[in-house]
């Protein structure tokens, strides 16, 4: 039997990663692979629950593979797979759907948020059944590998709890302990906010000035940081830092530029901080970080055939684990062996 991983996590293939994505998830993955047996996936099948372009999906999935490798996901330490190359996820999803109630799905907040957004943007667009049932596929994504832990943020707790509930119900229904109930793996992940609206989380959907791409060019990074909102009016004596200033410090801390951040914070406490110096330090730190990612990404793109073969091999490795899980599930659920 193929060894089961300790940690499992997936990410949807977006057009470009930004620094909020990196510090919120990917940087943590890179650290976890040094201490855990990890399986990471690109959830391209989840990306079809909202209106999409097939060519863009294919391109974004391939680019996400390259981007994650450029960020430090190491095939020698971890398994990185593409979800659609492991069809066992879908079979398991169907079986697990019988262990999930309509009421549980109807209470999922992301379905409400996304369906409302979709209907407000276009009266012609329908809300797909996939958008309603995709939490079961998320549960299948996790349970296919029977990990002990799943790295999550607070906004993902509801989905993980549903996965735990489905695992528990399956075990009770078939009198087994086949599925472990995966635990949330909480690690310190900084919440990076929009540069232009620091009370909102960094997001590409808000527009170019609101985020910094992980592979963005130096000139553009410096321009965006220079324009970042700091104080929007008179300082509130009851607030240590305004959201904009706090966000710039968060970026420095996330980049582990502790010495620079400590000095600038000392200046801030003494009311001697020049925001131009803070912004300059943030820009310098981000340029240093993104330069190494762009260089590594260029190397991977120059050897893209090897990368394609590598991710297919890793997806096959992931499929072996998922297939063993499905084999056990089929037996327990009463289906004939394949």
Q: Are 71 and 293 in contact (CB under 8 A)?
A: yes
Marked catalytic residue, from 31, 117, 201, 219: 201
Q: Are 315 and 82 in contact (CB under 8 A)?
A: yes
**Pairing of the two strands 149-151 and 78-82:** unpaired
Marked catalytic residue, from 31, 188, 204, 317: 204
* List of residues 6+ apart from 299 with CB closer than 8 A: none
| Binding-site sequence positions | 12-14, 20-21, 141, 153-155, 192, 201-205
Q: Are 172 and 185 in contact (CB under 8 A)?
A: no
Q: Tell me how far apart the alpha carbons of residues 23 and 30 are, in angstroms, rounded to a whole number.
A: 11
Phi, psi angles (nearest 5°) of residue 155:
-75, -5
Kindly provide the residue ranges of all beta strands, DSSP E only, lying in 136-252, ordered along the sequence. Answer: 149-151, 183-185
Q: Is 117 a catalytic residue?
A: no
Q: Is 31 a catalytic residue?
A: no
**Pairing of the two strands 78-82 and 38-42:** parallel
Marked catalytic residue, from 31, 77, 112, 114: 114
Q: Tell me how far apart the alpha carbons of residues 141 and 138 are, in angstroms, rounded to a whole number.
A: 5
Kindly provide the residue ranges of all beta strands, DSSP E only, lying in the chain, ordered along the sequence. Answer: 7-11, 38-42, 78-82, 149-151, 183-185
| Binding-site sequence positions for ATP | 12-14, 20-21, 153-155, 192, 201-205
The half-sphere exposure of 274 on its side-chain side, counting CA atoms within 13 A, is 4
Sign of CA dihedral 155, 111, 52, 323: positive
* List of residues 6+ apart from 73 with CB closer than 8 A: 26, 29, 30, 33, 40, 80
Closest C-alpha among 165, 168, 90 to residue 133: 90
| Binding-site sequence positions for L-tryptophan | 141
| Helical packing angle, 88-97 and 304-333, nearest 10° | 30
Catalytic residue ranges:
114, 201, 204
């Amino acid at each position: 039997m193929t060894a089961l991983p300790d940690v499992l996590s997936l990410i949807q293939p977006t057009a470009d990663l930004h620094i909020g994505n990196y510090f919120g998830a990917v940087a943590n993955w890179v650290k976890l692979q040094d201490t855990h047996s990890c399986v990471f996936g690109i959830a391209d099948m989840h990306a079809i629950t909202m209106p999409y372009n097939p060519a863009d999906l294919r391109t974004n999935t391939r680019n996400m593979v390259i981007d994650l490798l450029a960020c430090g996901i190491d095939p020698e330490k971890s398994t990185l797979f593409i979800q659609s190359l492991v069809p066992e996820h879908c079979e398991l999803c169907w079986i697990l759907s019988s262990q999930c109630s309509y009421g549980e799905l109807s209470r999922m907040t992301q379905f409400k948020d996304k369906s409302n957004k979709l209907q407000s943007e276009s009266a012609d667009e329908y809300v797909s059944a996939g958008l309603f049932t995709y939490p079961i596929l998320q549960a299948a994504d996790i349970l296919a590998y029977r990990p002990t832990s799943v790295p999550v943020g607070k906004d993902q707790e509801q989905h993980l709890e549903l996965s735990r509930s489905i695992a528990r119900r399956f075990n009770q229904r078939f009198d087994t302990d086949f599925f472990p109930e995966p635990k949330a793996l909480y690690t310190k992940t900084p919440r990076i906010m929009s540069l232009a609206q620091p009370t909102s989380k960094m997001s590409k959907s808000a527009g170019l000035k609101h985020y910094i791409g992980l592979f963005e060019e130096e000139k553009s990074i410096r321009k965006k940081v220079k324009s970042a909102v700091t104080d929007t009016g008179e300082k509130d004596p009851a607030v240590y830092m305004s959201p904009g200033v706090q966000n710039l410090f968060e970026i420095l801390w996330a980049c582990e530029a502790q010495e620079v951040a400590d000095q600038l914070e000392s200046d801030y406490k003494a009311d001697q901080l020049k925001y131009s110096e803070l912004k300059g330090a943030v820009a310098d730190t981000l340029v240093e970080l993104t330069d190494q990612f762009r260089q590594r990404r260029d190397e991977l793109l120059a050897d893209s055939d090897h990368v394609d073969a590598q991710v297919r091999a890793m997806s096959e490795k992931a499929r072996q684990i998922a297939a063993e899980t499905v084999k056990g599930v089929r037996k327990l659920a009463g289906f004939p062996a394949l």
